[in-house]
Amino acid sequence: MVQHYIHSILMGDRSVIDRAKDAPPDFLSELARNWPAMSPVSREIAIRMLEKIDSPQGAAFLLKATVDPSSQVANGAARAFSTQSHPPSGDSILALIPARQSPFVRGCLYLAAGKAACGLEALRRFAATEADPAAALDAQAAMVFREGVPERLAFFERVRKAASDEVRAISQHLFYINDPALAKGMLPWLNNTTGVMRIGFDGPGGYRQARMCDFAIWNGAKLGLATGAGTSISNYDPNHISRVRKIYAALPDPQPDLA
């Protein structure tokens, strides 16, 4: 049976991804044996399968694949690895980051290391040497998740002062950290009607945009606050925005470390 899976991957048959969880126990060893001869397209399909299998062995394979010569495969492996439920220890993930050339890969590994309970001081040391701005922000989010107080204050200020082109990246970090109190940083967003993302066609007037104020309401709902955002992001009216402003204003301010 395993050869059927390998053959499908080699042929570029993406339907095999939906059968990933039914792969036999020897799938990973056979995949490793065939990996060097696989095309980038085949390796991408294999990465998608490993993401669905979500096992300790699959996570280890994905971590190795983050050095793939194809940037698309390496980035896909990093993205998939960051979602795995059974990663290796956070500190072992951190130790591999300097050897990863892709900033996207390094960013994903910082986030994965944070979720895997890496040491905060070790994470700070690695983050201090990060040259890529986007990867450094991923490291910041990981440090907030690991309860770094200065990093939490800096992240709160980053949220509060965000420009429209930063909203989507910051939103992902808010969801990663998953702390409802940080929604207070989005108070200034509620006053901002700058468009961020197209969400539909608005007839002869053109495309409808989700604005910063809309993202503030939607993000709060995803963080568990009662913002009444609905099932998908929309353009919320001034009364709705005013109600959410009161919710966010009542949240606690981030406190500096007094120790």
pLDDT category, 259, cuts 50, 70, 90?
A: very low
Determine, yes or no, domain membership for 126.
no
Determine, yes or no, domain membership for 20.
no
Determine, yes or no, domain membership for 178.
yes
What's the number of domains the chain is made of? 1
Determine, yes or no, domain membership for 68.
no
Q: Are 214 and 236 in contact (CB under 8 A)?
A: yes
Q: Are 184 and 250 in contact (CB under 8 A)?
A: no
pTM value is 0.92
Q: Give the C-alpha separation, 250 to 259, whole Å.
A: 25
Determine, yes or no, domain membership for 208.
yes
Query: Does 206 have pLDDT greater than 90?
Result: no
For the stretch 87-140, pLDDT in tens is 999 999 999 999 999 999 999 999 999 999 999 999 999 999 999 999 999 999
- The residue range of the domain holding 177 is 156-253+255-259
Determine, yes or no, domain membership for 33.
no
Other CB atoms within 10 A of residue 221 CB: 17
Query: Does 172 have pLDDT greater than 80?
Result: yes
Q: Give the C-alpha separation, 74 to 44, whole Å.
A: 9
